[in-house]
Amino acid sequence: ELKEEFTRILTANNPHAPQNIVRYSFKERAYKPVSYVDQMAIHFSLNGNMILKDSDEGRRQSIRLSIAAKKASVETSAVTSEEAEIKGEESTGDTQVILHKEEEAEGSGTAEVAEAAEVEPPPPPSMKEQKLANQFNFIERASRTLNNPMRERACQSEPTPCKNFSATANQWEIYDAYVEELQKMERSKEKEKTKAQIAKREEEKKKGRKLTSLESQGDDITKISKAAKIMERMVNQNTFDDIAQDFKYFEDASDEYRDQQGTLLPLWKFQYDKTKRLAVTAISWNPKYKDLFAVGYGSYDFMKQGQGMLLLYTMKNPSFPEYVFSSESGVMCLDFHNDHPYLVAVGFYDGNVAIYNLKKTTSQPSYKSSGKSGKHTEPVWQVKWQKDDMDNNLNFFSVSSDGRIVSWTLVKNELVHTDVIKLSVEGTTMQGPEGLQLQTLGCGTSFDFHKKIDYLFLVGTEEGKIYKCSKCYSSQFLDVFEAHHMAVDSVSWNPYHLKVFISCSSDWTVKIWDHTIKAPMFIYDLNSAVGDVAWSPYSSTVFAAVTTDGKAHVFDLSINKYEALCTQLVVAKKKNKITHIQFNPVYPVVIIGDERGHVTSLKLSPNLRRMPK
């Protein structure tokens, strides 16, 4: 094995040189591999410089070198003269040869004298050859680590396309341009004059109010707004494709094995940046466009009152509202008109009511009450549109904590009010000064009109009572129900069964009543304050309620009269409460609003939407 020979062939090629370098050839307009690669590896290089002999510096250098050489020769001769060699030769006569050497000491001139003999003369001084060490003939042991091969990356950008443009400007062209500009200015001045009068009126209304996106958009955007809206909806449908598929086609198969129980499947979540700090105070579906709903934003906290907002969302675009209206006071309630779905009646925290017209592109309400026109002195808790009156004027009702139920009629573009009824609490007449009889007013919190009997309506109050009233009698109630121990949050007639209505309250209960009987038919305790309750549009026995602990409860009395078929946590965060719930009139969907300004849509599973026989 030791004798075995291994041949190693050394080539001039550099093993680290890259083999596959590619350059862009502008001639052939393609990347081409480079055939020749530099193989030389330089291990050591030293930069030197040469000087001309005849130049000044060259002469100076040669003189300097000759002087140094002379000095060196003088020193070497002095040393050789001092050290002479002593040679003793044997002769026939006993002659001793002694060299007289005089030592030059610092102050002593002594000389050792011996027997004199023949002295040889010193040899001529010879220059010693200075051998230079061969710097390249040496062995050095060292270990070397592998160096990673160098890599180069190059990137070439395509040259930007250039276009030549040339034009001549004549005097008349310049003149025409100036004339056109002057005409534009004149036109804009005329527009400003007409706008100035409108602006004055609007400025009074618009103190501190921001323009909506509709107003701030320029003329150019309005041209493509429809196309942009369709594009936005298409993008959203692609983004939320899985939710859209669930909404349209998903049916929870596990309902068959669930013994009548059901579930709610979360679909889209609607939120808007400017409503994060506001609570959802009202929700209403549009009667004509079944995917469109309005959401009112305000605050139920007396200490945290600020501005409010009215947004309209469509399920076709969950990422951004279709319409945005802001108001100085919090929106507390709203209602769409049945025959004119573009009209929205709104009640505010400051006691005002207003009508918004969605066809108009302004951010302001088309009609609004004021202190002069008999606005409420307390928050308006509910508004409801009624059929047009005898003169075909639009009219709606409102209920407020100030104890008044007011009918508002739109006469000649103005809201005219008439008090329908004042809620008085029985047995609370106080003796005022000078024998005046003072009546304590009840605080209305909710009301609902009968679906068939026009004049009949119910009013829920803060004291927990429900009054059955008629539009015809302003002083007398038809009936009083001692319904709840706390404020009645919602009261609602059944859409199918004409005698039945439902009520919910902060005392944790939901009660179902027959208006001809004083006692409730059903009582459900939901272990938390009930914020809202709603009948389903597809069945007379299905209703849903939401509680402040973040849960939604769905009941079907035809299946189970004692317990909810579904109790599900919808809002997980602490310090967040659900405020409202509404069924979609057509689709099996409910929308739920909470105190953080979010609106969640949920799909009812098959067990929760059984049609009655």
Residue 313: what are its φ and ψ, rounded to 5°? -110, 155
Return d(Cα 397, Cα 386) in angstroms, integer: 7
Return d(Cα 484, Cα 509) in angstroms, integer: 8
Domain 253-429+437-608: CATH architecture, name and number where available = 7 Propeller (2.130)
Count helices and strands (H / E) in the chain. Answer: 5, 34
| Other residues' Cβ atoms within 10 Å of the Cβ of residue 123 | 9
Which H/E stretch holds residue 336?
strand 331-336
Q: Is 27 helix (H, G, I), strand (E, B) or coil?
A: coil
b/e string for 44-78 if b means 16 or more Cβ within 10 A? eeeeeeeeeeeeeeeeeeeeeeeeeeeeeeeeeee
Spatial contact of 591 and 601, defined as CB atoms under 8 Å apart: yes
**426 closest CA partner among 482, 377, 362:** 482
Helix%, strand%, coil% for the chain, nearest 5: 20, 30, 50
**609 closest CA partner among 580, 578, 584, 579:** 584
Residue 68: per-residue pLDDT: 93
Domain ranges of the chain: 253-429+437-608
Return d(Cα 383, Cα 156) in angstroms, integer: 69
Structure tokens at 508: 């944790």
- Is 336 exposed, middle or buried, given 0-12, 13-18 or 19+ CB atoms closer than 10 A? buried
Largest separation between any pair of C-alpha atoms in the chain: 180
Q: Is 257 helix (H, G, I), strand (E, B) or coil?
A: helix
b/e string for 535-548 if b means 16 or more Cβ within 10 A? bbebbebbbbbbbb
Residue 126: per-residue pLDDT: 61
DSSP 457-508: EEEEETTSEEEEEESS-SS--SEEEE--SS-EEEEEE-SS-TTEEEEEETTS
**Is the CA virtual torsion 7, 12, 18, 22 positive or negative?**
negative
**442 closest CA partner among 417, 459, 418:** 459
Tens digit of pLDDT for each residue in 510-535?
A: 999 988 888 888 899 988 889 899 99
> Token match 């005002």: residue?
352
**What residues form DSSP beta bridges with 130?**
none
Return d(Cα 409, Cα 426) in angstroms, integer: 30
Give every CB contact of residue 33 below 8 A, 6+ residues apart in sequence.
20, 21, 22
**What residues form DSSP beta bridges with 345?**
335, 355
Spatial contact of 404 and 419, defined as CB atoms under 8 Å apart: yes
Task: Confirm whether pTM is higher than 0.95.
Answer: no
**What residues form DSSP beta bridges with 525?**
509
Spatial contact of 421 and 400, defined as CB atoms under 8 Å apart: no
Mean pLDDT in consecutive groups of 10 residues from the start of the chain, 613 residues: 87 83 91 86 85 89 92 80 47 40 41 45 66 68 83 89 88 92 91 81 61 54 82 87 84 78 88 87 91 91 84 89 88 90 90 88 82 83 86 87 86 82 65 60 84 86 86 78 88 90 91 88 89 90 90 88 87 83 91 90 86 74
Which H/E stretch holds residue 583?
strand 578-583
**327 closest CA partner among 362, 360, 300, 364:** 364
Residue 21 Cα distances to 14, 17, 32, 34, 46, angstroms: 15, 10, 9, 6, 30
**What residues form DSSP beta bridges with 380?**
400
Return d(Cα 259, Cα 273) in angstroms, integer: 42
Spatial contact of 283 and 599, defined as CB atoms under 8 Å apart: yes
Return d(Cα 357, Cα 368) in angstroms, integer: 12
**544 closest CA partner among 315, 264, 322, 352:** 264
The region that residue 373 occupies, defined by phi over 0 for left and psi between -120 and 50 for alpha, beta otherwise, is alpha
**361 closest CA partner among 193, 220, 222, 191:** 222
